[in-house]
Amino acid sequence: MTEPALREDGGITVVKLYETSRETETMCSIAAAIETVRAARSTDTVCEKIVTRDDEVVYSSDRNGDIDDWAAEWRTQKRRLSASSEPVHQCPYRNPGCTDESRCIQCQMDAQAERYGESAENR
């Protein structure tokens, strides 16, 4: 995965491939490109791609699967690279949608079990 960036100076290109044609659209950010790919899911596209200004394909629906899973991983990587010293939550169950803000059910259960264990020890 390419290092996440909020904006690309040369722009981000979303390529939509159809059976007999292709369509390209230039975006100012990866976030905008993600929204464009989400909208293209409901159309008759064969494949959607997000391409950086360096012509590197960072997302391909054929290779990377669902855009929501890829976007969750991109957000996690972006946070990891931020200047913040806070540790980034990494799901031990490899759930791509599990983030600091929105934990998966298994992680929520683990957190509850830890809290219960700590409160039992303090009695």
pLDDT value, residue 5? 46
Domain shared by 47 and 14, yes or no? yes
Whether pTM > 0.75 for this model: the answer is: no
pLDDT the model gives residue 67: 92
- Sequence-ordered alpha helix ranges (H) in the chain: 30-40, 61-64, 67-81, 105-121
Number of separate domains in the chain = 2
- Return d(Cα 16, Cα 26) in angstroms, integer: 12
Q: Are residues 61 and 104 in the same domain?
A: no
Q: Considering the domain boundaries, does residue 2 fall inside one?
A: no
Enclosing domain of residue 121 = 89-123
Looking at the structure, do residues 59 and 114 belong to the same domain, yes or no?
no
User: In tens digits, what is the pLDDT along the chain, a chain of 123 residues?
Assistant: 444 444 445 589 999 988 899 999 999 888 899 999 998 876 788 899 999 988 899 999 999 989 999 998 888 888 777 655 566 678 899 887 788 778 899 999 999 998 887 666 665
What pLDDT score does 85 carry? 56
Is there a single domain that holds both residue 116 and residue 72? no
Residues 17, 53 within the same domain: yes
Q: pLDDT at position 1, please?
A: 45
**Same-domain pairing of 77 and 102:** no
